[in-house]
Amino acid sequence: MKVGIIYDPIYLKHDTGAHVENSIRLVETVGLLKKSNLIEKLVALPVKAASLEELALAHSRSHISRVQSTATGCGCWLDSDTYASPASYEVALHAVGGTLRGLDAVMTGKVDHAFATVRPPGHHATANEAMGFCLFNNIAIAANYARKSYKLERVLIVDFDVHHGNGTEEIFYSDPGVLYFSTHQYPWYPGTGAVYDDGSGDGKGFTVNVPLPAYCGDKEYLRAYREILVPVAKRFRPQLILVSAGYDCHWADQLSLMQVTVAGFTGIVGIIKELADKLCQGKLLLSLEGGYHLGGLSHSIKATFEKLLGIPIGTDPLGEPEGTYISHNIDPVLEQVKERHKLT
């Protein structure tokens, strides 16, 4: 099994200062992969900047120009949460470009699966706006790149970040060629992702939102993936699976109220990997989104790579949620989703 990693020190130059989405996230993650010798088992894939034409696969020229203009200034806030330093445009080009090179490696068989450990993240970026720490939508661009370059007709995007990927949803809301599936804490930032948000026009039914209440843990998440994602994916028959891999639903993360453990992420990735192996010859690419507790993030990414490689999962030093974990009844949510998408 060959698993690719996309990483370049340029990703550290997106200088956000004391912002929660900062370069230490990748320093800690890559450091753990090296310390555990896991990185030696991975295929390092080259990174290059995306072209303007590639950015335009999911973004308007005006949005691209606005982000580009930060490179000639001294940094600015693109919205109340999203900072761009003078180097951020160039870094964002390499985040998109790295994700696309990972996709090329998966599609050409150089690797079986790949993980783009990139920043800035992307799933909140709409066609016309940067928001939620995101400048360009790495996964959305990758989906359209795959369809254009490899003539794919059906791409599945799975998003397990704790926040709903409103940008990805918006870009593909009326597009039947991309099925967007998201589990997320609801209501939570950015406030989107209700069950009834299920697409429009030709894309009706190709957006599948599973809005979960706060304090859900491994049990609830794995139920959502087994009971909703699995039948939806089998019906859709994707030729490629892309994943917005956000680890901020870890129980120790300060930006959420969820209770997922490293083992829970391993289970989620295992379900997605099994679907890729069964439905699209293993063609699976993950791209990093959120995750802001350094230990939770780095150990969850390490476990993700271990799962993709098919090797025993290492020790989780964080363990179970602190305090008493209370199981939540998510039957009403799952039943609503199943009824909405005719899974019953």
Q: At which residue do the structure tokens 């791209």 appear?
A: 287
Those residues whose C-beta lies under 8 Å from the C-beta of residue 254, and which sit 6 or more positions away, are 20, 292, 293
Q: What is the pLDDT of residues 46-60, one digit of tens each?
A: 999 999 999 999 999
Number of domains into which the chain is organized:
1
The yes-or-no verdict on residue 324 having pLDDT over 90 is no
Q: At which residue do the structure tokens 């940008």 appear?
A: 167
Those residues whose C-beta lies under 8 Å from the C-beta of residue 50, and which sit 6 or more positions away, are 93, 94, 96, 97, 100, 136, 141
Give the confidence band of 339 by pLDDT, cuts at 50, 70, 90.
very high
Task: Give the domain extent around 223.
Answer: 3-340
* CATH code, domain carrying 50: 3.40.800.20
The yes-or-no verdict on residue 135 having pLDDT over 80 is yes
Give the confidence band of 322 by pLDDT, cuts at 50, 70, 90.
confident
Q: What is the pLDDT of residues 93-106, one digit of tens each?
A: 999 999 999 999 99
Query: Is the pTM of the predicted complex or chain greater than 0.95?
Result: yes
Which residues are tagged catalytic?
124
Helices 262-279 and 294-309: angle between axes, nearest 10 degrees? 30
